[in-house]
């Protein structure tokens, strides 16, 4: 029976490589829910894990298959006058997005907690693209106080904002608390994510039509969503950084759907995106993912 399940999952995974990404992601979720069983806190859905790691639509195969339907003219745009803010724009996916958007002429604001790393990223992007409208804001995205201060100041400055990209995320090997008393991963992946979005909504509404893009992980399929894991995270033992990360990204997708419905009449489009397997500093350094990375 397990072999049959495995073969069915693999066949469906191959099929999903050749259909639109958003449809494939919803199929992933439905299959994970249908086959998965209720498991104890912080344990994984084995069928979900199989689908998560073996689904070739998350690899270069999925990109190559879908690229056959890409329209190159979609990227032949001039973004001068459009302003983008990227949380976690100094490295990995955020860094790549910042450079690509700067190349298209957008004004790019990067949020980073390290001034040194942020300044290096800004200098490099300006040098490569020739776009000097790339700016750094030093903000610890695990600190609600710092996020509130930044969003208040940004709104008061009168600067426009057309696109918010929530890219920042972290995966911890052990439980750590912020100075405000929150678990570090939850503070960054969810509380900061929520606080930054809510804090910048007035600016996005003022500059509509605008857009919010939430970068998420298909790792959410590897475990079942349990609200208890979020509400009582500090009491669950042992700490499992990968499972915590999975729960957070399920919640990010759920919030995306809530916001998309809430803000559609404000002319704010809200999407979540899983870009596939990407060789980022987070993946390379995350202790719980070392075996998978190798």
Task: Tell me the domains of the chain and their CATH numbers.
Answer: 139-289 (3.40.50.720)
Give yes or no for residue 79 having a pLDDT over 50. Answer: yes
pLDDT band at 37 (very low <50, low <70, confident <90, very high): very low
- What is the C-alpha separation between 205 and 266, in angstroms, rounded? 6
pLDDT in tens, 226-259: 777 677 666 666 777 778 888 899 899 999 999 9
pLDDT in tens, 100-123: 999 999 999 999 999 999 999 999
Most confident of 189-203, 231-245, 268-282: 189-203
pLDDT band at 9 (very low <50, low <70, confident <90, very high): low
Beta-sheet strand order (sheet of 107-112): 134-138, 107-112, 83-87, 163-166, 210-215, 268-273
Give yes or no for residue 40 having a pLDDT over 50. Answer: no
Mean pLDDT of all residues belonging to the chain: 83
* Region for residue 88 given its phi and psi (left: phi exceeds 0; alpha: psi -120 to 50; beta: otherwise): left
- The backbone torsions φ and ψ at residue 163, rounded to the nearest 5 degrees and listed phi first, read -140, 130
Q: What is the pLDDT of residue 245?
A: 85
Q: What is the pLDDT of residue 238?
A: 77
- Choice among 52, 239, 245, 293 that is catalytic: 245
Q: Where are the beta strands (DSSP E) in the chain?
A: 83-87, 107-112, 134-138, 163-166, 210-215, 268-273
Q: What is the pLDDT of residue 70?
A: 84
pLDDT in tens, 146-155: 999 999 999 9
Nearest to 6 by CA among 30, 43, 31: 31
Nearest to 249 by CA among 212, 293, 214: 214
- What is the C-alpha separation between 168 and 98, in angstroms, rounded? 13
Q: What share of the chain is helix, strand, coil (3-state, %, to 5)?
A: 55, 10, 30
Q: Running DSSP on this structure, what letter comes out for residue 285?
A: H
Q: What is the pLDDT of residue 104?
A: 96
pLDDT band at 275 (very low <50, low <70, confident <90, very high): confident
Give yes or no for residue 293 having a pLDDT over 70. Answer: no
Contact yes or no for 192/184 (Cβ under 8 A) = no
Q: What is the value of pTM for the model shown?
A: 0.82
Nearest to 196 by CA among 137, 245, 114, 237: 137
Give yes or no for residue 39 having a pLDDT over 50. Answer: no
**Active-site annotation holds for 239:** no
- What is the C-alpha separation between 117 and 113, in angstroms, rounded? 8
Biggest alpha carbon–alpha carbon distance for the chain:
62
Provide, rounded to the nearest whole percent, the portion of the chain with pLDDT above 70: 73
């Amino acid at each position: 029976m397990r072999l049959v399940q495995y073969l069915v999952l693999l066949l469906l995974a191959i099929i999903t490589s050749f259909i639109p990404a958003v449809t494939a992601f919803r199929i992933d979720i439905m299959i994970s829910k249908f086959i998965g069983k209720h498991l104890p806190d912080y344990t994984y859905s084995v069928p979900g894990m199989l689908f998560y790691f073996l689904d070739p639509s998350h690899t270069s195969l999925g990109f190559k298959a879908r690229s056959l339907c890409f329209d190159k003219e979609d990227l032949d745009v001039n973004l001068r006058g459009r302003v983008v803010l990227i949380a976690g724009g100094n490295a990995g996916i955020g860094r790549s997005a910042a450079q690509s958007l700067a190349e298209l002429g957008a004004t790019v604001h990067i949020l980073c907690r390290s001034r040194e790393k942020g300044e290096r990223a800004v200098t490099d992007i300006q040098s490569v693209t020739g776009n000097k409208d790339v700016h750094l804001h030093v903000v610890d995205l695990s600190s609600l106080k710092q996020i509130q201060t930044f969003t208040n100041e940004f709104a008061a400055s009168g600067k426009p904002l057309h696109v918010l990209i929530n890219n920042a995320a972290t995966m911890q090997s052990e439980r750590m608390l912020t100075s405000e008393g929150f678990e570090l991963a939850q503070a960054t992946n969810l509380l900061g994510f929520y606080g930054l979005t809510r804090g910048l909504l007035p600016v996005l509404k003022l500059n509509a039509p605008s857009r919010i893009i939430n970068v998420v992980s298909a790792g959410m399929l590897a475990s079942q969503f349990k609200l208890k894991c979020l509400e009582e995270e500090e009491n669950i033992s042992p700490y499992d950084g990968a499972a915590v990360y999975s729960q957070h990204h399920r919640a990010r997708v759920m919030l995306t759907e809530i916001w998309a419905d809430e803000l559609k009449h404000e002319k704010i489009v809200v999407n979540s995106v899983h870009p596939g397997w990407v060789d980022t500093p987070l993946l390379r350094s995350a202790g719980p993912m070392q075996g998978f990375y190798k």
